[in-house]
């Protein structure tokens, strides 16, 4: 992103608006987040296209539309303490950091977590805390969270993570529903978890277990 307006990001924001993303704060957060810094150099020319792209460790940076949709569904305010499971490139966390008070993001691959952290410092996003570990257990030391976003597909209702959602809180997550994955929005209403299906999606799997040395 050089100085001034990057027409590619403006075109992306227009495409997201046309696709039905109406939250102007979400669109502004996307406009201010240079996605080209979050993809491998060889894909930088495609960074502002509305499609997922491969990143290191065999993982994927989500399609911008899905990032926008999940962020909008999360109803984030500047008072929110947010947990993200699945840092990946760090792009989703960077978008959330423009809207939230603080973002805690956890990734099982050291390589990805370190690369994401470097991007956060380059962009001076000082309200993101990154951790290497198994996000299926959430982040107990920092719980409860006002908002939780899971960016890898859970095999079933992610109860351990949902137990770290504050009353009145919202969690958005792709969850397997037979062969398809459905994006679900959970709300903790007075201690009871309610769920709502948003749409079908395709994410890399949420993998249980210790972080690999990679
Ligand atoms: N939010 C990311 C996209 C994430 S892709 C972005 O904006 O780029 C999903 C990520 O979840 C992958 O990096 C994968 O390694 C990670 N992941 C999968 N299972 C995990 C687990 N149990 N704990 C933490 N991270 C996990």
Q: The CATH number of the domain where 87 resides is what?
A: 3.40.50.150
Residue whose CA lies nearest to ligand 1 atom number 17: 86
| Residue 109 in domain | yes
| Residue 213 in domain | no
| Residue 84 in domain | yes
Question: Is pLDDT larger for residue 166 or for residue 5?
Answer: 166
Pocket of ligand 1 (CB under 6 A): 59-62, 85-86, 88-89, 91-92, 106-109, 112, 134-136, 151-152, 204, 206-208
Domain of residue 99, residue span: 3-201
Residue 152 has pLDDT above 80, yes or no: yes
Residue 5: its pLDDT value, please? 63
| Residue 208 in domain | no
| Residue 179 in domain | yes
Q: What is the pTM of this model?
A: 0.96
Residue 6: its pLDDT value, please? 83
Question: Is pLDDT larger for residue 178 or for residue 118?
Answer: 118
- Residues 34-82 have pLDDT tens digits of 999 999 999 999 999 999 999 999 999 999 999 999 999 999 999 999 9
When divided into structural domains, the chain yields a total of 1
The structure tokens listed for 162 are 């949902």
Please say if 163 is a catalytic residue.
Answer: no
| Residue 81 in domain | yes
Q: Binning pLDDT at 50, 70 and 90, where does residue 213 land?
A: low
| Residue 211 in domain | no
């Amino acid at each position: 992103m050089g100085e001034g307006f990057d027409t590619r990001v403006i075109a992306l924001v227009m495409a997201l608006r046309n696709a039905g993303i109406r939250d102007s704060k979400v669109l502004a957060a996307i406009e201010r987040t240079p996605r080209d810094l979050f993809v491998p150099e060889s894909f930088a020319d495609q960074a502002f296209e509305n499609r997922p792209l491969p990143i290191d460790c065999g993982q994927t940076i989500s399609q911008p539309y899905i990032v926008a949709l999940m962020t909008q569904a999360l109803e984030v305010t500047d008072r929110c303490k947010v947990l993200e499971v699945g840092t990946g490139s760090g792009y989703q966390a960077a978008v959330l950091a423009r809207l939230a008070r603080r973002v805690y993001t956890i990734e099982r691959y050291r390589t990805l977590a370190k690369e994401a952290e470097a991007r956060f410092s380059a962009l001076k996003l000082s309200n993101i805390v990154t951790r290497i570990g198994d996000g299926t257990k959430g982040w107990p030391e920092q719980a409860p969270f006002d908002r939780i976003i899971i960016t890898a597909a859970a095999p079933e209702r992610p109860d351990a993570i949902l137990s770290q959602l504050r009353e009145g809180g919202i969690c958005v997550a792709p969850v397997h529903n037979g062969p398809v994955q459905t994006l679900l929005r959970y709300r903790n209403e007075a201690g009871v978890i309610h769920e709502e299906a948003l749409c079908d999606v395709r994410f890399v799997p949420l993998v249980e277990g210790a972080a690999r040395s990679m």
